[in-house]
Amino acid sequence: MPIPLKSGETLRGRYRIKRIIGQGGMGSIYLADDTRLEGRQCALKEVEHDRSLPPELAREARDQFLREATVLARLDHPNLPKVSDFFSISNRDYLVMDYVPGKDLRTLITEARQENRFLAESDVLNWAGQLANALTYLHSQNPTILHRDIKPSNLKITPDGLIKLVDFGLVKLLAPGEITITVMQGQGTALYTPLEQYGGDSGHTDVRSDVYAFGATLYHLLTNEPPADARERFLQPEVYIPPRQINPDMSLRTERAILWAMSLHPDERPETIDIFRQNLISDRQTLPRLTPSSTSRWNFLNFPLEQSLIAISLGLTLVTLIVTLAR
């Protein structure tokens, strides 16, 4: 792990480090003061490339960082922090973003669990709508931008109630006909990562990978329990507990949308974030019938059972009507 910067250090004659606010295997995220703009705080994301890389690969990784940082700096969306600067010092690269105040959603889950309650579904769906807006914006860029690390701790809620998708650590650009290296290589957080992403940068990921992580994040927010990771589900389907078995107050519609998004095979998930949003929030529903291959056999029973009960009720009513008319 890289040696972290010390409080009081100033980078590029402008960014004075205050403290570490996040840490990972390839660097840290710092809260810093922008000394050129009095009163402005920013978040500095540090990336240190693997020192064991051959010089050619190290240069390629650095060039990739600069290309992708340039793309991120052009983004402008209310649910994304603005990237304002990027630079390199020695073998470390830095991405400068707006600092987002407020709690992350993982903290809200912890507080709810400690108080023996669930987060309100209406609040979670409001946050989901905002997250969908951010992801739709990213996916509509040319080239398409995948986030690949959607999870509660990467979602912050500001004092004004605005959701921000704060970490660009695993952002990936999809150029036509190729899959590029990420700004900060990795596979995402296991609990929210689809099977296809376990291949790292050699694996084929597309917008449906973000759909899976979106669904897994909603599962955690509405149950206070993280979902079983995709590898474990693949080997032992029974470990995947349908969310309404944990939180029976959750609506059936929300559960079905989450189960669809978390299908193990990409082809069985919503094709786009917008399709997922429509089935989660809007009045239009195009949810497919769930199958054992897309989720666990427990989940498969929920929707067909409801349909069966309705069919039986209608059938009995029709028989009664026929008997009455025959008299």
Give residue 297's pLDDT: 36
Give residue 147's pLDDT: 87
d(CA 162, CA 118): 20
> What burial letters (b/e) apply to 268-283, b meaning 16+ CB within 10 Å?
bbbebbbbbbbbbbee
Tell which residue, 169, 97, 183, 168, has the closest CA to residue 134. 168
Which ranges in 74-158 belong to alpha helices (H)? 105-114, 121-139
CATH class of 103-307: mainly alpha
CATH number, domain 10-98: 3.30.200.20
Give residue 199's pLDDT: 62
Query: Under a CB-based contact definition with an 8 Å cutoff, are residues 257 and 280 in contact?
Result: yes
d(CA 31, CA 28): 10
Q: What is the mean pLDDT of each run of 10 residues along the chain (327 residues)?
A: 87 96 79 95 87 80 81 91 90 90 94 97 97 96 87 93 80 44 45 80 77 97 94 92 97 96 95 96 56 42 40 45 45
Tell which residue, 79, 204, 93, 92, has the closest CA to residue 148. 204
Does residue 149 have an active-site annotation?
Answer: yes
Annotated catalytic residue, options 33, 93, 104, 149: 149
User: Same CATH topology for 10-98 and 103-307?
Assistant: no
Spans of all domains in the chain: 10-98, 103-307
